[in-house]
Structure 1
Amino acid sequence: METTCQRLSSASADLIIKTHPHAEILYWGPRLQHFSPEYIASLARPVANGRLDVDSPVTLMAELSHGLFGSPGIEGHRQGLDGSPRFTTTSAIRDGESLTLIAEDSVAGLTLESQLVMSAAGVLKVRHGLRNLKPGAWQLDRLAVTLPIAERAGEIMAFHGRWTREFQPHRVSLAHDSYVIENRRGRTSHEHFPALIAGTPGFNENQGDVWGVHLGWSGNHRLRAEVKTDGRRYLQAEALWLPGEKTLEQGEMAWTPWLYASHSPRGLNGMSQQFHRFLRDEVIRFPQGARRPVHLNTWEGIYFRHDPDYILQMAEAAAQLGVERFIIDDGWFKGRNNDLAALGDWYLDEQKYPQGLTPLIARVNALGMGFGIWVEPEMINPDSDLFRAHPDWVLALPGYAQATGRHQYVLNLNIPAAFDYLVARLSWLLGDHAIEYVKWDMNRELVQPGHAGRAAADAQTRQFYRLLDTLRARFPAVEFESCASGGGRIDYEVLQRCHRFWASDNNDALERTTIQRGMSYFFPPEVMGAHIGHRRCHATFRQHSIAFRGLTALFGHMGLELDPVTAGAEEQAGYRHYSALYRQWRDLIHGGTQWRVDMPDRTTVAQGVVSDDQQQALFLVSQIAMPDYTLMAPLRVPGLDPLGRYRITLIDHPNIQLTGHGGHTMRKLPAWMEQPQVISGEWLQAAGLSLPILDPESAILIALTRE
């Protein structure tokens, strides 16, 4: 068959793929102004001595049978047979900027379907489907998406973390061998966010070629960056299956999760902006309206101490602070007085709520707020009526004692009766009450997950999706938050089914500065739950001013996590102020273009947002530790119109103190803080704006308005 190629394009990116006799990506990078298919002849590789006598392509499936000698994209067998497939393209189906390739290995009896879609935002989506054509089960051990990247990509950026400290970036050199991330915790995980970023060495927010990938999958996963001994590089991502999880009978098909990929020649900001635009265009939909309401969640205010009369006082105080949605957290269902019991018993605690939830909800609504509630449907406590009635509903392997985590087991959603029980109880909760928002928690990893004696982590994840899909179909006006102990289940696949992520259980503003910045590489602020907590942080016991807490929560979906009744007058005034500030600026924050700013002093963190018409901008500068230098570097403001002229306004600051006798930071403020200035966008980008010297753990907010 004649060699052909296909081109998938957006305004910013191009993908050139050779389709026959096998599928191989030849180019993935900035959009080409001039391209003709005959140009691909320039990439015909020589054959090195001392190796195979033929070229070894890195195909879409990265088969070992081509002589790849690296990590293959497929591994499996048919009782030891048909274990080294090699696929030949049989058809290429084009539909706009979407390409479906069908390939077959008639010897192994397998068909491969590869789907590639280039979005208008420049984000590439890729997935594979594998079908068994022959009698006899084909044991599928691995099925991965492989994307080649340029040889100049010599550095990797990835993310590590743990509970209350998620999305921590780190970098490694990519010169030889492989860098591998594996997650076996059964959910997306705090520890290993499923993403890799490769780039030219030293890439930063505004400079360098970068290739970023994210696997849209809420379970176990494996990501790899690999360098072949010939210098070629590729990124690979897959769902990680436990032994025996995937077996294809004749006619059956298995799909990889979607891999989302973005290339930017303009550093990390360009990559992030493409991902954000893609999510806003194609994924994020808010049934309650685009504006993200100010939340108040009761957890860190009352914990399990539920008294309807007192909760009404909290609601009344919250309304006075500008709260627009009131959420009661854990402790509302029967027997739930601590975290030792009652998960699974999704019936109202009538001792705590003798009049039911309806009067409370009605009062919250009368105060002008929507009502939300906390659930953790996937879990079951050993001390619960549900467990006593159905101990066999636990996700476990027979013959072993299942370990508890946070005093709970996982409910096996693969059991139809267990699944139907949850649908019935949650349908009662959402059908009989005016609930517009559900905070969906998931506080335990999967250990020996089993169903009918076989590993079932993959199946459990898919049943979770089905449960959410069922509820969303029944209650399309309800919004869902993916919580999972904070950042434990944050990815693009669950975002297809939810409307907000709880970024971390840690409300410490200092820690949140890093967590939220890390999350911003792949997610826009409108889906990032960011709350102002109590002065004394629940997670770290560290204390921060209301100004630092309020400004840190501003660049997300803001809320409060505290008891407003017991807050002092000064704290209440602060909550009211930052709630109002958020409502004033949220349209810009949630609709504009996000920018992170590289600062030469690593103790200074700067970020901002610029409106699409470049008429407005808002930038936050946070000082997270004692500065390295006695003067702060100027803020070079990206994203402005070079021809525009912008008025600079200090919107919020930590009551900066001047001193004439030493002992503090400054004797004189920057000139623009003392008298109004109008400056060109070109100058602000190239030369910048002088900053005041900030105390550690404080921040300032600056607005730029085009004249």
Structure 2
Amino acid sequence: MTDSNKNGIFFRDGIFTLQTKNSTYQMKADKFGFLLHLYYGRKMFGNADFLPHQGDRGFSPNPYDAGSDRTYSLDFLPLEFPVRGVGDFRSPAFDVKYADSSWGLDLRYKSYKISDGKYSLSGLPAVYSEKASDEAQTLEIILEDDVAKIQAKLLYGILPKLDIITRSVEVTNLGEETFTIEKLQAASLDFVAGNYDFIKFYGRHAMERNAERTPITHCAQVISSRRGTSSHQYSPVMIVCKNDATENSGSVWGLNFAYSGGFKGEAEKDQFNSTRIQLGLQDEMLSYPLHKGEKFVSPEVIMTYSNNGIGQVSRNFHKCIAKNICRGKYRDEIRPVLLNSWEANYFNISKDSILKLAKDASELGIEMLVMDDGWFGKRDDDNSGLGDWIINEKKIGCSLKELVEKVNETGLKFGIWFEPEMINEDSDLYRAHPDWALNFKGRKPVRGRNQLVLDYSRPEVVEAIFEQMCKVLDSANVEYVKWDFNRSINDVYSYAENVENQGKVLYDFVKGTYSLAEKLTSRYPNILFEGCSGGGGRFDAGMMFYTPQIWCSDNTDAIDRTRIQYGTSFAFPASTVGSHVSIVPNHQTGRVCPMKTRGVVAMAGTFGYELDLAKITSEEKEEIREQVKSYKKYANLIKNGDYYRLTNPFTDETASWAFVAEDKSEALVSSVQLEMHGNMTPLYVPIFGLENGAVYRDEESGNLYPADVLEELGLPITEPMLHFKAYQWHLVKA
């Protein structure tokens, strides 16, 4: 048995135990060499190998090794890495097809290795550990099929202080015959008993990551993306919790896929009331051949557990992504307050319009101006020019160098927009290389936003775009890049000469995107890269490895954003959330909200503006000055504080949240009133995360509030209540 109180990885009597600060993960190689999943949950000491049940179950087959023992069947035992072909009829995590079109695997335990530090993945994003104090460790478990000559190396990374365990799989062909990978899930969890709920995050363009909680029952619940990206429609995040779990109590498990392509997540209760949870690559359109000696690496799933509710799982994810996924200069720095030109000018940009925005922004304390779409090639609308990353000096009226110097003279940094993976048919690049676009052979392409997708599974295509981008970025003092991706991938066909199976293309495409991102971030370490895909269509931990912030949604309406940012907060920290104040009536919804409300909502992210400063009143300009000052005052608390969801904006009368300092010395509490009725009843905002027994002073009013009362009953809204009005309190421990 495990008798150590230390965190880390331990092996004894065939049992592997992974201990974090507050959780335990345990599995066992049994007498037949099958790797059983024993336990993942609250930290415990001892062995959970008594949990798997056995019995003679009708129609549950028995492996040949079991002989006449009909009580042993993989049809109901909890498995660490389930495969098709050993008598388990539940959903497999790994499936292959052989040259004769047959299926079937029989993976048995061979060996293990424990090492200090966290593993990395070649060409893929992954959680990293750069400090010895993190006490990170890696466990490798080797499983092999002796007949098919297939090896699966299960990788486990453990960051004990963060309560984080990661999982990945490396598949190797040890034999002579080629096989194809048809399915590969990085993480699979079997719960032998209990009733659970599944929290998923669905949506659409401009209304992403709506939280939905449903019981896990005797049917397969599946979330997925077939779009080639992580998508607006589902987030690659799964939260599983006991039926009675709440925001602040109960057992909760979180799985977060660090990948920017298609994914699949599954949750199902089986015939014997066990529950299986899986997350990994989308198996549709995946058919990846492996020849002798070749390897295939699964992207990583980040896992965490808490018995203190859903909110603690979120905060575990936040800390891990902010410090152990995001990289580079801006991981730790406060981001500049920026103004984006899009809603001010759309495609109608010029030297004069950009400099006018810069001058107006500088006077209000804004720190950066971003020139969005429309500056390159033949680009006066969204029908042409993508792929031709050359500044249109005739349209702009000067060189990029001159424009940036003029913007810098106003005291502002300069940023620029790219959409590197896209191409228009009306472009010089397409006319020169039509085969560089993904398109079904012999068919007219399916267009999206009148554009096609470049074939990033081909290194020469990636290199050509990299060279174009470098010429632009080397020509001027560019300090920010917005990286957009404005359509889904439909025509999955590559014209590369060496493509033997089109089932490789989507996976290799994503790796091509990552290779470009790695080359750019390495060459330009001082540039702040912000991801975007029509807003939140590629909002995932994979892209955050390269872009420490991502435009959260193209919908900038403050009320819709309270819901979008609420759903986003379940898995991603505020420091990754691109959020701006925009004009009213809002360009997406037509809704009118007070400037203060728009500012308070945008402060729950990286903060900036998306409007024409020449078209707002002097009173609104003064409000912006004060908002910028306020954001800078609280920026460190917002970026590094612990985030608490205080209400649910889908069901409650307010959208309320708080950032609490790690030492609980202060908190910034924000609330937006979503409902207004005649003779309105009093509203109270519950506040979690403060120090029990402490008293807090509201900085503005001087009022004193016991933390326990604020948590139990809430802070009353005493100001006049108005529809869509925002309230903000800075509480300091007295």
Mapping for residues 127-526 of structure 1, pairs under 5 Å: 127-144=168-185, 145-149=187-191, 151-243=193-285, 245-288=287-330, 290-452=333-495, 454-455=502-503, 456-526=505-575
Distance in 2 between the 1:330 and 1:129 partners?
Answer: 40
Give the AA of the match of 1:130: V
Equivalent pair of 1:82/1:107 in contact (CA under 8 Å): no
Question: Offset of 1:98 from its aligned partner?
Answer: 2.1
Partner SS for 1:127 = strand
Tell me the C-alpha RMSD between the 2 structures. 2.0
- State how far apart, in whole Å, the 2-side matches of 1:605 and 1:566 are: 29
Please tell me the residue identity of whatever aligns with 1:261: M
CA distance in 1, matches of 2:271, 2:548: 44
Residues 179, 628 of structure 1: alpha-carbon distance in 2 compared, 3 angstrom cutoff: farther
Alignment partners' CA distance in 1, 2:468 and 2:435: 19
Report the CA distance between 1:691 and its aligned residue. Answer: 2.2
Counterpart secondary structure, 2:637: helix
How far apart are residue 588 of structure 1 and its match?
0.4
Instruction: Please give the per-residue CA displacement for 1:150-172, whole angstroms capped at 9, x wherever unaligned.
Output: 63342111111111000111122
Distance 1:501 1:19 in 2: 42
The answer as to whether partners of 2:329 and 2:525 remain within 8 angstroms in 1 is yes
Query: Is contact 1:19-1:92 (8 Å) kept?
Result: no
Q: Deviations over 1:263-297 (max 9, x none)?
A: 11111111001111112331223425611110110
- Corresponding residue SS for 2:50: helix
For the residues of structure 2 that align with 1:64 and 1:459, how far apart are their CA atoms?
A: 25
CA contact (8 A) 1:149 1:211 kept: no
Question: Matches of 1:545 and 1:374 in 2, distance apart?
Answer: 29
Whether the 8 Å CA contact 1:8–1:117 is kept in 2: the answer is no
The Cα of 1:81 is off from its aligned counterpart by 6.4
Q: 1:627 to 1:637 in 2, by over 3 A?
A: farther
Corresponding residue number in structure 2 for 1:635? 685
> Does 348-357 or 218-227 show the bigger shift?
348-357
Matched with 2:18 is 8
Question: In the alignment, what sits opposite 1:645?
Answer: 695
Secondary structure of 1:68's partner?
coil
One-letter amino acid of the counterpart of residue 675, structure 2: A
* Pair 1:330–1:243, CA change in 2 (3 A): closer
Cα drift, residue 614 of structure 1: 0.9
For 1:159, the aligned partner's letter is F
The residue type equivalent to 2:143 in the other structure is: A
Cα gap change, 1:135/1:368 in structure 2, threshold over 3 Å: closer, same or farther?
same
SS at match of 1:612: coil
Distance (Å, rounded) in 2 between the aligned partners of 1:439 and 1:541 = 26
Q: Which moved more, 1:292-301 or 1:618-627?
A: 618-627
1:237 shift after superposition = 1.1
Show the counterpart of 1:23: 35
Q: Aligned AA for 2:41?
A: G
1:678 — aligned with what?
704
Count of residues in Structure 1 that have an aligned counterpart in Structure 2: 679
What's 1:562 paired with? 611
Query: How far has the Cα of 1:679 moved from its partner?
Result: 2.5
Matched, 1:75 2:99: no
TM-score, with structure 2 as normaliser: 0.89
Give the whole-Å Cα distance in 2 for the aligned partners of 1:150 and 1:512.
39
2:714 maps to 1:688: yes
Shift of 1:4: 1.2
Q: Which runs of 5+ in 2 are unaligned?
A: 1-10, 62-69, 117-136
Is the 1:164–1:486 Cα contact (8 Å) retained in structure 2?
Answer: yes
Contact map agreement 1:205 1:598 (CA 8 A) in 2:
no
Task: Tell me how far 1:633 sits from its aligned partner.
Answer: 4.3
One-letter identity of the residue aligned with 2:321: L
CA distance in structure 1 between the partners assigned to 2:52 and 2:611 by the alignment: 63
**2:145 alignment counterpart:** 105
- What is the CA–CA distance in structure 2 between the aligned matches of 1:76 and 1:588, rounded to whole Å? 49
Cα pair distance change 1:628/1:72, threshold 3 Å: farther
Distance 1:560 1:460, change over 3 A: same
SS in structure 1 of the partner of residue 715 of structure 2: coil
- Aligned equivalent of 2:55: 47
Question: The residue matched to 1:512 in structure 2 has which SS?
Answer: helix
- TM normalised by structure 1 equals 0.92
CA displacement at 1:46 relative to structure 2: 3.0
CA contact (8 A) 1:60 1:147 kept: yes
Please identify runs of 4+ aligned residues in structure 1 that moved more than 6 A: none
Distance 1:643 1:681 in 2: 6
Q: Deviations over 1:527-584 (max 9, x none)?
A: 1000000122111122211011111111110000011122221221122221111111
Residues 9 and 368 of structure 1: CA distance in aligned 2, closer, same or farther (over 3 Å): farther
Cα distance change of structure 1 residues 504 and 367 upon mapping to structure 2, 3 Å threshold: same
Aligned-pair identity in percent equals: 29
Over residues 225-273 of structure 1, what are the superposed CA-to-partner deviations in whole Å (9 max), with x where a residue is unaligned? 0111111112101211444640111111112110111111111111001
The 3 A distance-change label for structure 1 pair 628 and 418 is farther
Q: 251-260 or 53-62: which moved more?
A: 53-62
Q: Shift of residue 193 of structure 1?
A: 0.8
Paired residue for 1:705? 732
Q: Is the 8 A contact 1:3 1:19 kept in 2?
A: no
Give 1:584's aligned residue. 633
Paired residue for 1:612? 662
| Distance in structure 2 (CA, Å) of the matches to 1:243 and 1:691 | 53
Conserved? CA contact 1:83–1:108, under 8 Å: no
Pair 572,8 (structure 1): closer, same or farther in 2 beyond 3 Å: same
The answer on whether the counterparts of 1:507 and 1:532 sit within 8 Å (CA) in structure 2 is yes
Cα shift at 1:339: 0.9
CA distance in 1 between counterparts of 2:353 and 2:684 reads: 49
Structure 1 position 90, deviation (Å): 1.0
Instruction: Please report how far the alpha carbon of residue 504 of structure 1 lies from its aligned counterpart in structure 2 after TM superposition.
Output: 0.3
Name the amino acid aligned to 1:47.
Answer: G
Instruction: Measure, in 1, the Cα distance between the counterparts of 2:405 and 2:665.
Output: 41
Q: Please say if residues 599 and 633 of structure 1, whose CA atoms lie closer than 8 Å, have aligned partners that are also in contact.
A: no
Q: Could you tell me how far 1:384 is from its partner in structure 2?
A: 1.2
Alpha-carbon distance in structure 1 between the residues aligned to 2:286 and 2:14: 38
Higher mean alpha-carbon deviation, 144-153 vs 83-92, is at: 144-153
Residue 426 of structure 1 deviates from its aligned partner by: 0.6
Cα separation, partners in 2 of 1:426 and 1:55, compared to 1, 3 Å: same
Q: CA deviation at 1:325?
A: 1.5
* Contact map agreement 2:78 2:192 (CA 8 A) in 1: no
Q: What is the rounded CA distance, in whole Å, between the counterparts of 1:27 and 1:248 in structure 2?
A: 33
**Alpha-carbon distance in 2 for matches of 1:244, 1:276:** 31
Q: State the secondary structure of the residue aligned to 2:517.
A: helix
How far off is 1:519 after superposition?
A: 0.5
Q: SS state of the match for residue 451, structure 1?
A: coil
Report SS of the residue matched to 2:640.
coil
Residue 623 of structure 2 corresponds to which residue in structure 1? 574
- Partner of residue 593, structure 1: 642
In terms of mean alpha carbon deviation, does 119-128 or 470-479 score higher? 470-479
Q: Secondary structure at the match of 1:306?
A: coil
